């Protein structure tokens, strides 16, 4: 069973932060740019589905987030 915790973003963009038992991340909705791809960075894996973007945090990120 999944338990989701949602928090608003601090930078006045449309989206939210989420935490579950197994992973945490960010969901955002873009206004202009649309893309379909998966990008892996030092901290997140970014999944772009049109104007919707999901950022999933790595289990052991190379860079830590400030104030997460």
User: CA–CA separation, 58 vs 32, rounded Å?
Assistant: 27
* 27: DSSP letter: E
Closest alpha carbon to 28 in 42, 39, 4, 12:
12
| Amino acid 68: pLDDT | 53
Q: Report the pLDDT value the prediction gives residue 28, as an integer from 0 to 100.
A: 93
56 versus 60: which is more confidently predicted?
56
Q: Is the pLDDT of residue 67 over 60?
A: no
User: What CA–CA distance (Å, rounded) separates 39 from 49?
Assistant: 12
List, for residues 16-50, the tens digit of each pLDDT value.
999 888 888 999 998 888 999 999 998 899 999 99
């Amino acid at each position: 069973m999944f338990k989701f915790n949602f928090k608003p973003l601090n930078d006045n963009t449309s989206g939210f932060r989420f935490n579950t038992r197994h992973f945490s991340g960010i969901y955002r909705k873009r206004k202009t740019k649309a893309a379909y791809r998966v990008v892996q960075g030092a901290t997140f894996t970014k999944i772009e589905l049109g104007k919707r973007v999901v950022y999933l945090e790595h289990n052991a990120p190379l860079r830590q987030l400030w104030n997460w």
